[in-house]
Structures are given as structure tokens and as C-alpha cells.
Amino acid sequence: MYSVEKRFDEKSTEKRTRGQEVHSKQFPIYELNDANEVPGIGLGTFILKTPYESVYNAIKAGYRYIDTALFFRNEAEVGRAISDAINQGIVTRKELFITGKLWNTYHERDRVELGLRRSLQNLSLSYFDLYEMHTPMAETEDGVFTCTDYVDTWKGMEDLQKKKLVKSIGVANFNSKQINRILANCDVVPAVNEIEVNPSFPNLALVSYCQQHGIKVIAFSPMGYIVLRQPGGNSKKPYPDDPYLTKLAQKYKKTVYQIVLRYSVDRGFIPIPRSDNPDHMKENLDIFDFKLTQKEVQKINEFDINSRVFDFGQFNNHLHFSFNHP
């Protein structure tokens, strides 16, 4: 199904099979199941302290993938940073990969485009490279749960792609049963599933399912608890001073945080760490000159405590709550 060959961009004559990575100067470029290309690392924009400065600095540092969402409530500032970077000649729009997300309050098929256009207007963009359904769980503007079927919402997402308002469409926070329903009832296979994956929550079964179906995994919160804990603690592991991670950092001459990000890459994900610190942004990009062994990846998997950083607990009683099944 995914054996079509495609030439890399005009700067390269290299050919590859779909899904294989090709490296730019700073990061790999992956081909999605719809033949569109996505950078191998992105900037998450949730809960940024300084959205404008963070996104602008990230683009200056070399990031080309910016992950946004209406729910993050910072689209205008993010969009202003993108516009300024383009207007100042730092980057072109074509060189950027911008992701948006449809929030739960726009799940009716005839409202999907309205949700999209609201985000495009906030960001001052004319299209998204990737547009995701943020969750399968619909609700009203007042936060009342509704039973709108995410399959119908997905058909609305397909409508957007047909109208060329988005290049690729995907889902986020979906489990395998929910994706199966989309595959059985819709025309377009999701290009991605954006889910939480990190050493404390390796999400093995769902990741395996997505990879078997040619759905690229985008990993949010890729460092998990490691960025929320001080060295020497006694709660949820791993810690920044974990002996095994420290050993790997010394072996590869990297930081523990870089080891954890590389873990995502070596499991086949695209990590989208968030940061307000320009030095950390550059550090996060500097993970593509080494590779963990399979045994090292498996050892990091053993940090699994099946504990999410973001558990969406407010939706526990929703008909389409997705975290009760892999």
C-alpha cells in the first residue's frame, strides 16, 4: 500500500519509498501516507509563556514544523510570529509545515469548515499543511457533552481536503477502535495520530497499531514527567539524573533530554516538544547525529508506568472517551 516512490524536493535527487526518512540539514523529512511531507521534529505551542517570542525564535533556530490548536488560545500570537518570520525573509510559507486542530465544539459535519476558518483567520493563514481532529469527543460551547459521531466529523474533515483548504488530515487522541471505525466508514486514512508518547507512557499497543496501518505517530509531551521533576525525587520516574539515562547521555555526548527525544525518533515518531527557551530549542534540534540501539530503546520502554501527563480526565464520562482502550 505504501510502496510508491517519490522524489525529494528540488534540492535533492534522492528517491525513497513512502515512509522512509530523508535528511535535510537539521532533521529528517518523512512522507505521510498521502504523499505529503512532514519535518521530523516540531515545536509544540501548548501553554507557552511567550507564544510570539517562542515561535519566532524557533523558526529562526531552524524549526519548520509548528503545531497549533484553537484550544491552546494563542493562535493570534503564533500567527503573528509566523507572519513576521515570513515577512522578514527568514522563511517562506512553503518551507513551513503548520498543523491546526478542530476543537470539540465544531464536530457537526456542517460546522467543521467553520472551525477551520476560525483558526486560519486567527493565524492569518490561507491553508493548513495538516489539520487534525483534536479529540473524538464532541461538546457544546458551554461544555455539555454531545453524542456527535466522530465518523461524521471525519467526513467533514475529508470535505476540507477536497476543497484544498488543508493538505493532509489526521486525528489526535484517538484509540485503535475509533480509528478502525473511521477506516471502515470513510474514504481517507488519517495521515497521523497525535498522541502522548514518552518513557513513562510508551503507548506500545496504540503505536504498533498506527504503524501497522501506515498512520504516522506525532508524539506530544515527548519528555513526559522528566521535565516536571527535579533530580533526586521519589515520585513518577524517570528523573533527569536517572542512572541509565545519564549513562546514555555520557555515551553519546548529549543531554538526558536529548536522549529522551531521540528515543521518540528511534521508535519512528515525530516529537513536538514545547519550549520558551531558545537554547533548549536548539538543543532539541540537535538529536539527529546519533542513534540509540534497539536494546537501548527497549530499556527506556521499561520506564513504563502507564501514566499520562495529560489524562483528559474532564472527559471520563464522555460517550467517546478514548483513553479507556489502546
Known binding-site residues for substrate equal 134
Three-class DSSP category at 30: strand
Cross-strand partners of 168: 130
Instruction: Look up residue 215 and give its DSSP letter.
Output: P
Scan for cell 525564535, then name that residue.
57
| Residues with Cβ within 8 Å of residue 222, at least 6 apart in sequence | 197, 198, 260, 261, 264, 269, 271, 272, 273
Binding residues: 134
Give me the phi and psi of 228, to 5 degrees please: -105, 0
- For residue 325, the tally of other CB atoms under 10 A from its CB is 11
The grid coordinates listed for 311 are: 489524562
Three-class DSSP category at 85: helix
Q: How far apart are the first and last CA of the chain?
A: 24
Amino acid at the residue 100: G
Task: Tell me the C-alpha distance between 13 and 244, whole Å.
Answer: 40
Three-class DSSP category at 67: strand
Task: Tell me the C-alpha distance between 187 and 182, whole Å.
Answer: 8
Helix residue spans in 198-317 (DSSP H): 204-212, 243-252, 256-266, 278-285, 294-301
Do residues 61 and 91 make contact, with C-beta atoms less than 8 angstroms apart?
no
The grid coordinates listed for 71 are: 484550544
- What is the bridge-based pairing of β-strands 166-172 and 192-196? parallel
Task: Tell me the C-alpha distance between 251 and 184, whole Å.
Answer: 46
